[in-house]
């Protein structure tokens, strides 16, 4: 199910984008264990526990339809930067699509935060500029929406509409 914005809450679309903050760099990799080892041994960055993430647990969508994707994910911090590693395991996802086009892996998306209350306005701005929502998730820390901005900037853009819990996580 595609995340639906509420047009009644959209009043100042341009102002919503000015409230976005860069929060995360995400790599899609073919071997998450090797990537985690690289970050630790080469860059001195500790990546947390590798976990399995099922899109269906978060009402995940893939081009507007329910997603059956399963991924391995791990997160870490370097200074103020939040790092995410994603290894597609099964099912259809924008992460699997990326790895098919880029077999060596690489930076697949940049994530920006806004408040959950501002998310509808940000979505409206992206849609008004012609960007298509390609995936979404609903988690305890954020309502998450991905837009395909790869033609314009080489990577997708993730917007995190942070909940109160999410604001604590990303304040780190």
Tens-place pLDDT, residues 36-87: 999 999 999 999 999 999 999 999 999 999 999 999 999 999 988 899 999 9
* pLDDT at residue 6 is higher than 50: no
Q: What is the dihedral of CA 41, 88, 114, 66, to 10 degrees?
A: -170
Looking at residue 8, its pLDDT comes to 43
Closest CA relative to residue 156, chosen from 165, 164, 169, 147: 147
CB 62 within 8 A of CB 94: yes
Residues 53 and 34: their CA atoms lie apart, in Å, by 19
Say what the pTM is.
0.88
**Rounded mean pLDDT of the chain?**
90
| Neighbour tally for 77: CB within 10 Å | 14
Confidence of residue 17 (pLDDT cuts 50, 70, 90): low
Identify the structural domains of the chain with CATH numbers, from first to last: 19-170 (3.10.180.10)
């Amino acid at each position: 199910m595609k995340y639906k914005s509420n047009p009644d809450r959209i009043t100042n679309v341009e102002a919503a984008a000015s409230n976005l903050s860069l929060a995360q760099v995400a790599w899609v990799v073919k071997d998450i264990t090797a990537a985690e080892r690289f970050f630790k041994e080469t860059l001195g960055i500790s990546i947390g526990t590798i976990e399995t993430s099922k899109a269906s647990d978060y009402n995940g969508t893939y081009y507007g339809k329910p997603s059956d994707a399963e991924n391995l994910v791990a997160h870490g911090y370097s200074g103020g930067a939040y790092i995410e590693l994603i290894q597609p395991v099964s099912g259809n996802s924008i992460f699997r699509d990326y790895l098919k086009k880029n077999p060596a892996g690489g930076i697949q998306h940049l994530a920006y935060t806004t408040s959950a209350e501002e998310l509808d306005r940000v979505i409206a701005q992206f849609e008004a500029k012609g960007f298509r929502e390609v995936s979404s998730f609903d988690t305890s820390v954020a309502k998450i929406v991905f837009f395909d901005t790869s033609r314009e900037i080489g990577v997708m853009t993730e917007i995190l509409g942070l909940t109160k819990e999410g604001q604590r996580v990303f304040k780190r």
